[in-house]
Structure 1
Amino acid sequence: MAFLDLYSIGKHKQEIGHFANIVKIAKADGTISDGERALLAKAGERLNITLEEFTIIFNNPEKFPTNSPISYDERIERLFRLSKMVLASGEAKLIEINLLQKIAIRLNFKSDNTEKICKKAIDLVLNNSDLDNFITEIKKLDQE
């Protein structure tokens, strides 16, 4: 097996874990809104999740671990996507925010700074921040 094949398999595992986290947030409050449903479909497509994988992950997202990317920017991008899901129903519910904080720790954000980072992440998404600005702002906050 070529190195590139191994990288692809590892990368896809990260994407599956990320998609499972997105599903967990969507399901956290017990209902899935139309906005969450649309974001799940878009995320699944962007992450190259097959229809079969989508169904398996959707039915049991807890079976899939968070595989944090090595790249700091990729971890912040994951936080961006997860924050979008928190707000996909139109409001940030406490159960979703708490789950986002747990996932942020698994993405290797400092646990003593996670609450502040997640609050800022949600504020940035709420104010329609683009990904580049989001990354810049989270980096500033994470360096404090």
Structure 2
Amino acid sequence: MSFKDLYGHSEYKSNLAHFAAMATLAASDGQIGPEEQRLLDAFAHKLNISEKDYGEVMDPANKYPIEPPVSGELRLERLYDLFKIIFADHYIDHEEMILLKRYAIGLGFSEEKANDVIEKSVAIFSGKIPYEDYLYLLKH
């Protein structure tokens, strides 16, 4: 097996684990709504998840390990993807917060950093950011 084949498999495995985490968060309130389903379908396509693996991930009995990326920027991108799924129904509940924190720590964030990133992200996604932060985001 070539290095490229080995790397490609590793990348797919990481994408599959990330997709599984998104599916778990989407279903954490007991159901996957239409907007969450649309986002999951879009992420499955973006991450090149096979139909077979898609079906296995959507089976609630299956569990997938978190595959933490090396890059800090990619870790933030993974969290961003999860926030898009969570806020598809315009609401974040307590169970989703617990899963999100567990996932952030699994990605390699310290507990303190995970809390900080999650708190700021919730403010951004829920539209409850101070004007100064809004202005900063628009300018940068």
What's the TM-score once normalised by structure 2's chain length? Answer: 0.85
8 Å Cα contact 2:56/2:62 also seen in 1: no
Task: Report the alpha carbon displacement of residue 120 of structure 1 after superposing the two structures with TM.
Answer: 1.0
Unpaired runs of 5+ residues, structure 2, are: 128-136
Query: Using a 3 Å threshold, how does the CA distance of structure 1 residues 62 and 99 change in structure 2: closer, same or farther?
Result: farther
8 Å Cα contact 1:36/1:88 also seen in 2: yes
1:126 corresponds in structure 2 to 126
Whichever residue aligns with residue 36 of structure 1, its letter is E
Unpaired runs of 5+ residues, structure 1, are: 128-136, 138-144
Larger Rg: 2
Task: Report the alpha carbon displacement of residue 85 of structure 1 after superposing the two structures with TM.
Answer: 1.0
Residue deviations 1:97-121 (CA, integer Å, cap 9, x gap): 1110100000001112322211212
1:90 corresponds in structure 2 to 90
8 Å Cα contact 1:18/1:66 also seen in 2: yes
The CA distance in 1 between the partners of 2:75 and 2:35, in whole Å, is 23
Whichever residue aligns with residue 94 of structure 2, its letter is L
The CA distance in 2 between the partners of 1:19 and 1:57, in whole Å, is 8
2:17 corresponds in structure 1 to 17
2:56 corresponds in structure 1 to 56
Task: Report the alpha carbon displacement of residue 62 of structure 1 after superposing the two structures with TM.
Answer: 4.6
The CA distance in 2 between the partners of 1:61 and 1:68, in whole Å, is 22
| Secondary structure in structure 1 of the residue aligned to 2:89 | coil
Give structure 1 regions of 4+ aligned residues with deviation exceeding 3 angstroms.
Answer: none
Residue deviations 1:3-49 (CA, integer Å, cap 9, x gap): 11111000001001000100010010101111111111011001100
Give the number of equivalent residue pairs.
128
Whichever residue aligns with residue 110 of structure 2, its letter is K
Root-mean-square deviation (Å): 1.5
Residue deviations 1:37-90 (CA, integer Å, cap 9, x gap): 111101100110011110001104752101011111111100100111111112
The CA distance in 2 between the partners of 1:125 and 1:53, in whole Å, is 29
